[in-house]
Amino acid sequence: MAIRKIAQLGEPVLRRIARALAPAELALPNTRALIDDLIETMRDADGAGLAAPQVYESVQLVVVEGRDNPRYPGADRIPLTVLANPRVTPLVGKPGEALDDVDAISLFEGCLSVSGVRGRVRRPRRVRVEALDESGKAVDFVWEGFRAAVIQHETDHLFGTLFVDRADSRTLTFLREYERHVPVAERLVDGGGPPGLEAKGGRA
């Protein structure tokens, strides 16, 4: 296992569409090593998720995990989840229409590839996730709340999209200013969950 270097905003790999993995590739030693390194790198950097392109590997692989995370205090926990070729489908709202507040999760997101910046992103709060798990088996589940936002953010990485592309640009803030000026109650607003920071947990 190794902690890998994290690509920063401007690296072309972050803007490429990553290659899908064949199920059999998940058993290969190189892929196993990449998965282990993604987990170790995510944990070392206090990330809630990490996508392979962020470590210069342009393949469709993501890891997510929500522990007591100093970068997202109060957010719900997410079990360690490794997914290849994830496809995320919103289960709320209508395509092309603005999301109702009750269907949205609004989170000041950050990204290990955009160091020191936060910005508010509104996303569907309930999504279907179809993917392969670590063993190459197809999985299909529903996530909501904080973990729904995280899996959307990570899946975006596989298609060359960063949270700054989706953020309300007037909310972009450096970390020091975020801590000073963004009230805690506004950092994570889950329209369908309980009030405050207690984002509603999903199902895996």
List the catalytic residues.
154
Choice between 78 and 111, CB closer to Ni ion: 111
Contact (Cβ atoms closer than 8 angstroms) between residue 155 and residue 86: yes
Minimal distance, residue 24 CB to Ni ion, in Å: 28
Contact (Cβ atoms closer than 8 angstroms) between residue 120 and residue 106: yes
Residues touching Ni ion: how many (CB under 5 A)? 1
Choice between 84 and 111, CB closer to Ni ion: 111
DSSP code, position 134: T
Name the closest residue to Ni ion (Cβ): 111
The residue whose two tokens read 């070729």 is 85
Choice between 53 and 192, CB closer to Ni ion: 53
According to the 3-state scheme, what is the secondary structure of 59-101? Answer: ECEEEEEECCCCCCCCCCCEEEEEEEEEEEEECCCCCCCCCCH
Read off the tokens for 80: 């360690």
Minimal distance, residue 127 CB to Ni ion, in Å: 17
**Residue 55 binds Ni ion (CB under 5 A):** no
**Residues in 96-125 that interact with Ni ion by CB under 5 A:** 111
Residues found near Ni ion in the complex (CB under 5 A): 111
